[in-house]
Amino acid sequence: MLQLIKSCDRGYADHGWLKSFHSFSFADYYDPARMGFGPLRVINEDRIAPGTGFGTHGHRDMEIISYVLSGELAHKDSMGNGEQGAANSGVIRPGDVQRMSAGTGVLHSEFNHAKDQTTHFLQIWIMPDSRGIAPSYEQKHFDTASKRGRLRLVAANDGADGAVTIHADARLYAGLFDGSESAELDLAPGRIAYVHLVRGALTANGQDLTAGDALQLRETSRLALTAGKDAEVLVFDLAA
């Protein structure tokens, strides 16, 4: 079973310094039919104006993934990441995947320090398998070549293939497709999948997608991606 969600059907908020599209109910956007998909709870497409950002705020019991499309995002948290001399600088750029497991509770801020460039990124929340774990942080870079014409695993509950490790029954893939490039992903029985097209155009299981569109798959054994036009896509393989 396939369900296409068009970009124009997402929630939208304009706070001046922040413009955000919400794939699922978030903050003032509420749709009882769009509360999440399996453990996937939030996909916000955010644009942060130069010299602005999210002040220090708290999270708990959530796996939070940030995926930068353009510009830079500076992260600082109560675990010490982003502080001078810390093991993790906290600055993420295109190609980086940042994972923060909020667990028992963490405070953090996110800021665009650039004077003349908007930061465009995706903020993704996934419900964890277990509550009350110790907070933790990880960031890795996945270059363009590793995603070209294929689905590159970038986040997984077992950290396979060099992916960041999330504490949820989910696997996140990123891919770049153009022209004749294509890819397939087998889905095990009892799994569901969510395709989010970041940019460009792409066909997924016969459904034509443009930037911001999504496709939900249930009771489907295979995902096929074809006919990309400067496409960047995220694919979530999720527990039902």
pLDDT of amino acid 89? 83
**pTM of the predicted model as reported, rounded to 2 decimal places:** 0.96
Question: Which contiguous run of DSSP H or E holds residue 14?
Answer: strand 11-14
Q: What is the pLDDT of residues 61-113, one digit of tens each?
A: 999 999 999 999 999 999 999 888 777 888 999 999 999 999 999 999 999 99
What is the layout of strands, in order, in the sheet containing 52-59? 52-59, 106-112, 73-77, 91-92
Burial class of 61 by CB neighbour count within 10 A (0 to 12, 13 to 18, 19+): middle
- Helix, strand, or coil (residue 162): helix
With a pLDDT cut of 90, the percent of the chain lying above it is 96
Ramachandran quadrant class, 72 (left: phi over 0; alpha: psi -120 to 50; beta: rest): beta
- The CATH number given to whatever domain includes residue 195 is 2.60.120.10
Q: What mean pLDDT comes out for the span 10-22? A: 98
Q: pLDDT: is 85 or 57 the higher one?
A: 57
Burial class of 6 by CB neighbour count within 10 A (0 to 12, 13 to 18, 19+): exposed
pLDDT of amino acid 84? 83
**pLDDT over 80 (residue 26):** yes
Give me the number of domains the chain comprises. Answer: 1
Range of the domain at 131: 2-239
Look at strands 63-70 and 136-141 and give their pairing: unpaired
